Chain A
Amino acid sequence: MDVPVARDLGSDLAWPAGGVSRVPFRLFSDPEIYAEEQKRLFRGPIWNFLCLETEIPNPGDWRLATVGEVPVVVTRDEHGTIHAMVNRCAHKGALVCLQDRGNAKALTCVYHSWSYDLAGQLQSVAFRHGLRGKGGMPEDFEPSQHRLEPLRVETFCGLVFGTFSDATVPVEDFLGATHAKMIRRNLGRPLRLLGMHSQIIHNNWKLYAENVRDSYHATLLHTFYTTFKVNRLDMDGGMLLSDDGRHSISYAKRGTLQQADEYRQVHSAQYDSALAAPQLLDSWPEFEDGITHCIQTVFPTLVVQLTLNSLAVRFYTPRGLDRTELFWIYLGYQDDDEQQTRMRTMQGNLTGAAGLVSLEDGCINEFVQRGTRGSEDRNAFLEMGGRDVASSDGSRATETGIRGFWQGYRELMGL
């Protein structure tokens, strides 16, 4: 689908000199920009995460998702093929599927009983020929000409992606070699769902996109990381960006910690009590590369996390200009033993809405949303680690991942 260019946002919003090391606060609070994102970005040449394959394992299974604000239903048909369609009846536009998930042979709109197959093709229309020879659709009505608006679908390592654009390159090319390899490392085996919940955060969705690419904040705001040496910047680690800068991997190797003096001066390192119940952090080395902490972002709204053994997929979806739903899906592998599941369960305490490490992210982005009110003509200053967009292998005291996000955003939005 072509991206409609309604008007030139660029002339209306001049990006400040300094490129992606400056970010206009207005981007987080302008309803017109929000509306344009729905068209240019979410319907643009990108892959949107929809759900996990393991959430729709059987023929007839379906699951609701959203792309931007567009309601989407993902199905698995009788042949096992996965489809995604806008969850909007071709007749009057009502939602077709109402439950979050289900299993059905056909998708039938409750309003006037228009019925679609699992690929979204219209099968039948109630009273098509009227009743007793009266009423009904015109003679030239052709059900095959009507269907639920489809998205193109691709799966990769159990992740189901959808796109509205014909121009989107295959998922592996979209990710790039480094990022495809890391997803394969973390999700390349049969997965088991261990739990899920979500969080409403009161900020524009892009503030979370920044936050999760922000390796600079992680060990400053999240005291628990630093104190219990789960993740610190004085471990070997780095920030790996895809060639286009849009996707990032922040990683650390816990076994390489060499405590740096700089931490003596920050709040997050002042909390030095030991855990009364250290089993919280019981873990085992899962991979031979020594990486024990890995936060990978996939533009625009997906995150794959492996911290110690806590494996999770996070994704966030806009629920309005200053409201975002952040989903946490905790995972293990199907061949995990009981003890491994137990350790993943314990480490589940680190992240999520009540995460000992992550709970601050529930409010910190809202603090920016509130802090920038009335300052729409001002900019954020993002020069940590330089002003460019490039991988930073060796240091995570950098904002390069955030700059990479904005580079991709500007390209898609024409800003």
Chain B
Amino acid sequence: MREAIEELLADYAEAIDDGKIESWPAFFTEDGVYQIITRESHDAGMPIGILYCDSRGMMEDRVRALRTANIYEPHAYRHLLGRPRIERQGAGFDVRANFCVFRIAQDGDTVTFATGRYLDRVVDDGGALRFKARRVVLDSRRVDILLVLPL
């Protein structure tokens, strides 16, 4: 099972890094929750982070917005993932993994854009492992320029 979960995490990162953002919502269950929040707000138990989706539909809206509505300079990410910690809980798994995301701008400028932890709930969704919840807890309170591609 560890191998299958590690594959899910790697596939997710690879899809985003390769620019296949359209495939991002399919990593979640239909009612999946995706949130990006600062460590400060997470620790304080506050509900509003930086981005919040509570369904695949909301994620699809995000993808459509970033492809057709939002305006920003082109850039790409490169995810580096730490070895996940996996705990079986009920019918699914609680998974935690450290990440580091670099942002590569069109002029070649490469910066450490985000570090933090994924706090995941992974379930078997009709034969495929998917995120029931993925909470991205950022170590830093601040975002450089803007955040438009999912982490």
By a beta-carbon cutoff of 8 Å, the part of chain A in contact with chain B is: 193-202, 221, 223-224, 227, 268, 271, 273, 275-277, 279-280, 325, 330, 341, 344-346, 348-349, 352-354, 356, 359-360, 362-364, 366
Write out the residue numbers on chain A whose beta carbons fall within 8 Å of the beta carbon of B144.
199-200
Write out the residue numbers on chain A whose beta carbons fall within 8 Å of the beta carbon of B52.
345-346, 348-349
Main secondary structure of the interface of A (DSSP, over half): mixed
- Counting chain B residues whose Cβ lies within 8 A of the other chain, the interface size class is 35 or more
Write out the residue numbers on chain A whose beta carbons fall within 8 Å of the beta carbon of B142.
197-200, 325
Write out the residue numbers on chain B whose beta carbons fall within 8 Å of the beta carbon of A356.
62, 65, 69-70
Q: A354-B143, A354-B146, A360-B71 are in contact. Are A280 and B41 (CB under 8 A)?
A: no
Q: A194-B47, A330-B48 are in contact. Are A353 and B38 (CB under 8 A)?
A: no
Task: State whether A198 touches B58 (Cβ < 8 A).
Answer: no
Residue interface mask B70-83, A partner, CB < 8 A = 1: 11110000000000
Task: State whether A349 touches B145 (Cβ < 8 A).
Answer: no
> How far, in Å, is B25 (CB) from chain A's closest CB?
9
Write out the residue numbers on chain B whose beta carbons fall within 8 Å of the beta carbon of A345.
47-48, 52
> How far, in Å, is B108 (CB) from chain A's closest CB?
16
Write out the residue numbers on chain A whose beta carbons fall within 8 Å of the beta carbon of B55.
277
Q: Which residue in A200, A221, A271, A276 is a CB contact (below 8 Å) of B58?
A: A276
Q: Which residue in B54, B61, B141, B148 is a CB contact (below 8 Å) of A354?
A: B148
By a beta-carbon cutoff of 8 Å, the part of chain B in contact with chain A is: 36-38, 40-41, 44, 46-55, 57-58, 60-62, 64-65, 68-73, 141-148
Task: State whether A354 touches B51 (Cβ < 8 A).
Answer: yes
Closest to A194 in B: B48
Write out the residue numbers on chain A whose beta carbons fall within 8 Å of the beta carbon of B69.
223-224, 227, 268, 271, 356
> How far, in Å, is B114 (CB) from chain A's closest CB?
11
Closest to B37 in A: A195
Write out the residue numbers on chain B whose beta carbons fall within 8 Å of the beta carbon of A349.
51-53
Q: Which residue in A196, A227, A353, A360 is a CB contact (below 8 Å) of B40?
A: A196
Task: State whether B143 touches A197 (Cβ < 8 A).
Answer: yes
Task: Give bound CA distance, A62 to B6, whole Å.
Answer: 43
Write out the residue numbers on chain B whose beta carbons fall within 8 Å of the beta carbon of A330.
46, 48
Task: State whether B65 touches A224 (Cβ < 8 A).
Answer: yes
Task: State whether A353 touches B146 (Cβ < 8 A).
Answer: yes
Q: Which residue in B51, B70, B72, B146 is a CB contact (below 8 Å) of A224?
A: B70
Task: Give bound CA distance, A363 to B51, whole Å.
Answer: 18
Task: State whether B41 touches A277 (Cβ < 8 A).
Answer: no
Task: State whether A359 touches B147 (Cβ < 8 A).
Answer: yes
Write out the residue numbers on chain A whose beta carbons fall within 8 Å of the beta carbon of B68.
223, 271, 273
Task: State whether A199 touches B60 (Cβ < 8 A).
Answer: no
Write out the residue numbers on chain B whose beta carbons fall within 8 Å of the beta carbon of A359.
70, 72, 146-148
**Of A197, A201, A345, A348, most B-chain CB atoms within 10 Å:** A197
Write out the residue numbers on chain B whose beta carbons fall within 8 Å of the beta carbon of A360.
70-72, 146
Q: A196-B40, A197-B41, A199-B142 are in contact. Are A353 and B70 (CB under 8 A)?
A: no
Write out the residue numbers on chain B whose beta carbons fall within 8 Å of the beta carbon of A348.
48-49, 52
Please give me the 8 A-B residue pairs with the lowest Cβ-Cβ distance, nearest first.
A195-B48, A362-B146, A277-B57, A276-B57, A353-B143, A223-B69, A277-B58, A354-B147
Task: State whether B70 touches A223 (Cβ < 8 A).
Answer: yes
Q: A200-B145, A201-B145, A353-B50 are in contact. Are A363 and B72 (CB under 8 A)?
A: yes
Task: Give bound CA distance, A301 to B15, whole Å.
Answer: 40
Task: State whether A194 touches B147 (Cβ < 8 A).
Answer: no
Pairs across A and B, CB under 8 Å, 24 listed: A194-B48, A195-B48, A195-B49, A197-B50, A197-B143, A198-B141, A198-B143, A199-B143, A200-B143, A200-B144, A224-B70, A273-B64, A275-B57, A276-B61, A277-B55, A277-B61, A330-B48, A348-B52, A349-B53, A352-B50, A353-B146, A354-B146, A354-B148, A363-B73
Task: Give bound CA distance, A275 to B64, whole Å.
Answer: 9
